[in-house]
Amino acid sequence: ADKDEGFVAASSLAGGRMKTDLKDTPLAYSVITRDFIDALNLFDTEEALTWSVGAYMPYTDVANYRYFNNETGSSIISRGIQTVRPQRNYFLLGVNTDTYSEERIDFARGPNALLIGTTGLGGSVVTMTKRARPDRTFGSYTMTFGSWDKVRAALDYNLAVNNKLALRANLLFHSADTWRDHEFDKRKGAHFALTYRLTERTTLRAEHEYYDNDTFIGRESMEDRVSGWDGVTVVPAPTASNANSTALGLPRLGYSTAP
């Protein structure tokens, strides 16, 4: 990621987990760099999808739309096909991660995405975390204020102890309401990274993160849930299934699936 120039990424790890120039990578591959994330205030993977190529979030049930953690797979659509859940550093994670601790977000599209880990025919979404860097000490602090009482603070500090050892800390506080009453999005996070160069060719890296996301949000879609009860049929108790239940107005959830 250090070689990324502004909004343009220079390399990827696709295909063999070895750094390869994007121009030589045999994939339909796009990268959202850290500069792009900061410029557009993209606070999580969901927001970044809006700026990706050929990938988007479908408007579906909130449990699938917001968090990708449904048992049948991800809610991410890539090239018209549902993908598996998002990855972090090429390991399956399956949640909508915050970008405060991430260096960049990679999108691989099409069946060739099978080359880069746990994925499907549509493609994959991979977030890359920030690493401790022993080459220099640096830090940054950002404050963001927005509509509906949004307040966000993020701290990023890298300490190069010497040319072999480095520590990095990323801290997050995020609190926001929405345009609808009683909704909120509260996040707290702490991500720590360590890098130690054992030898010229061997580097030990370790990461630890605590992240808490407390969200209350309404449905994203409006549906007509009108009962179609025939006025006659009754059952003694709720049942898992009932012959012709929808037509009788007695489906398991208590309403007709048709408006």
pLDDT 10s per residue in the chain (259 long)? 555 555 556 555 554 555 666 666 666 778 888 889 998 999 988 788 878 877 666 655 444 444 444 434 445 666 666 666 678 888 877 777 899 999 988 887 766 656 655 656 677 788 889 999 999 999 999 999 999 999 999 999 999 999 999 999 999 999 999 888 888 889 999 999 999 999 888 999 999 999 998 888 766 555 555 556 777 877 776 666 666 666 676 665 544 444 3
Q: Are 213 and 196 in contact (CB under 8 A)?
A: no
Whether the pTM exceeds 0.75: the reply is no
Of 34, 41, 26, nearest in space to 2 by CA: 34
Residue 205: per-residue pLDDT: 94
User: Under 8 Å CB-to-CB from 84, ≥6 apart: which residues?
Assistant: 73, 74, 92, 118, 119, 120, 124
Percentage with pLDDT > 70 across the chain: 60
* φ/ψ of residue 240, rounded to 5: -65, -35
